[in-house]
Structure 1
């Protein structure tokens, strides 16, 4: 089969590899119909990370069931499905406590197991979820990042009527805008430095968009909130700069949830650090998208709200490309060439 395989730093190759075959009775082979580029994929591509040389990359996907093992009963060949790419060990202390997103040996396909930048992928049955009738493959490929965002929101104490600020309008931030609405936010502020991303944020439900290039984000937010700030601030840019700036957005006693990963050291100016202490902020981290019973309520909630149309990923998808374009696209992304928001590969699509 055709696949994208990562060998070393900035060395991803479009090539032939062996297609997966059933080896255990609880396995499912899936024909990949859509698979997205995650920010973690970009980081691994340019900075190295936990993967084996030559590993088939990618983990955000949806597809059609091709073949099932003898013990699989909840799906059949031809069914449309999404896949949870995360594996937990079930043996470490966090796993034994039911805190499976904190597993000490947590991994995803595309690192130690073959991933979904390919024509076919294999997963255990309990990782595979049926797509509802109104969820297409492109949307299904976004169930995993949507579940990542939902996992974070479940960790907060947000209540209906809250005001929420989203800092960073990449795919995670744009999903966070929509999850804030689902959790009952009365007003959602979207913050970025890219007007094209802010335009999409408005399209998916942001009430107010703030370009932080014009003046500090917290100053603009103060104008909208009469100087009080928001109940919840979401850091979704994964930038060292926004990781400190987000601390100035919540009200006294408010919350910050970190969903982005900066992959760099963070220096926090006194002005921002003192917000934690003087405003008695509650600071939360969020990691991955799984919870018990596996894969977790995040996944079923994502599918439910996608089916209702309350999570709309279509405006976020800027490119649908063939796998063959992979090496070129990854280089463009790390050099910030092109107007990319969310890139989806379609393994059935031929190179333009």
Structure 2
């Protein structure tokens, strides 16, 4: 079958791979219809390389069930599904508590086992969530990043009428977070980014205020738009070592900070920003992965529900739809940054 394999930093190859086979009566084989490129994929391509050289890459996908093991009861052949990428190679204290996202045995497809940039994938049946016919495969492939966002939001005390500032608002996580904030009934959504084109996308999906942090005093503008108090909740979705330190200045006293982005570099926090944690008595949430009990969790069922009801619009997020064979080419373009590239969806069944 066709696949994309990661061999090293900036070394991804379109190659043939063996089709997956079932090793357990609980396994399911899915024909992949759409697979998204995640921001973490871009960072690993640019900086870190693979966990295992030559591994089939990718972890965001939707598809159609083509084979099931004898013990499988939750899905049937021809079902349309999305796949939770989290698999376990053991059990520990957190796994047994049902805190699956905290388990040391929590691994993602595309890391230490074959991923979603391929024509087929094999996963345990519990990793698959059915989707309705009204939800397109392209849109459904964004359920995975949505589950990442909502897993974090469920950790906070976000309620109707509160204010939210989202840093990195023009990326996939940010654009989805804006829409989830609208669903939560947030009073004011402030989008922060360094790209005007991405800020325009933020407006289209529901941001009330947009701030280009390269050209404007972000802290002052947030205060101006929140009666001088600043935001009830600040979401760091950029994954930048720079913004990861600045966000502490954007929250009101007694406010909350939620970290969703992964800064692939050391974070150096100036005294001015660090003291905001203490002097403003902030609550800081780290958020990892996208699963809860009962596995894979309400992050997945809630995302499918609101996607199917078109409460979350993916058309402003997806900018490129390409055959899987164009994978190496689009990753190079992502490094060049010469054009606006949002979410990229790869189609393994297109030649």
Is the shorter-chain TM-score for this pair beyond 0.5, marking a shared fold? yes
Residue 185 (str. 1) matches residue 177 (str. 2): no
Cα distance between partner residues in 2 of 1:99 and 1:337: 41
Deviation at 1:90, TM superposition (A): 5.5
Deviation at 1:72, TM superposition (A): 1.5
- Which secondary structure does the structure 1 equivalent of 2:154 belong to? helix
Q: Aligned pair 1:284/2:288, yes or no?
A: no
CA distance in 1, matches of 2:323, 2:138: 14
* Partner SS for 1:261: coil
Q: Does 1:163 align with 2:172?
A: no
Q: Name the CA distance, whole Å, in 2 between partners of 1:323 and 1:133.
A: 23
The aligned counterpart of 1:107 is: 107
Match in the other structure for 1:70:
70
CA offset at residue 327 of structure 1?
Answer: 1.0
Q: Which residue of 1 aligns with 2:23?
A: 23
Tell me by how many angstroms 1:50 deviates: 5.7
User: How many angstroms apart in 2 are the aligned matches of 1:254 and 1:202?
Assistant: 24
Report the 3-state secondary structure (helix = DSSP H, G, I; strand = E; otherwise coil) of the residue aligned with 2:35.
strand
In structure 2, how many angstroms separate the alpha carbons of the residues matched to 1:153 and 1:180?
9
Residues 19-168 of structure 1 correspond to what in structure 2 (within 5 A)? 19-48=19-48, 51-89=51-89, 91-168=91-168
Following TM superposition, by how much is the alpha carbon of 1:238 offset from its aligned partner in structure 2, in angstroms? 0.4
Native 8 Å contact 1:89 1:95 kept in 2: no
Give the number of equivalent residue pairs.
350
Q: In terms of mean alpha carbon deviation, does 167-176 or 47-56 score higher?
A: 47-56
1:200 and 2:165 aligned: no
| Per-residue deviation, 1:89 | 4.6
User: 2:233 — aligned with what?
Assistant: 232
Q: Distance in 1 between matches of 2:336 and 2:152?
A: 29
Any unmatched runs of 5+ in structure 2?
none
Quick check: 183-192 or 86-95, which moved more? 86-95
Q: CA deviation at 1:86?
A: 0.5
> In 2, distance between residues paired with 1:50 and 1:295?
25
Q: Which residue of 1 aligns with 2:221?
A: 220
| 8 Å contact from structure 2 (residues 4, 57) kept in 1 | yes
Distance 1:29 1:211 in 2: 45
Which residue in the other structure is 1:318 paired with?
A: 319
Q: Distance in 1 between matches of 2:231 and 2:85?
A: 34
Which residue does the alignment assign to 1:264? 265
Matched with 1:295 is 296
CA contact (8 A) 2:7 2:50 kept: no
Q: CA RMSD in A?
A: 1.3
Give the corresponding residue for 1:255. 256
After TM superposition, give the deviation of residue 209 of structure 1 in Å. 1.2
Partner SS, residue 274 of structure 1: helix
Per-residue deviation, 1:175: 0.7
Q: CA–CA distance in 2 between the matches of 1:316 and 1:27?
A: 32
Q: CA offset at residue 49 of structure 1?
A: 5.2
How many Å separate the matches in 2 of 1:273 and 1:225?
A: 22
Residue segments in structure 1 that go unaligned for 5+ positions in a row: none
SS in 2 for 1:155: coil
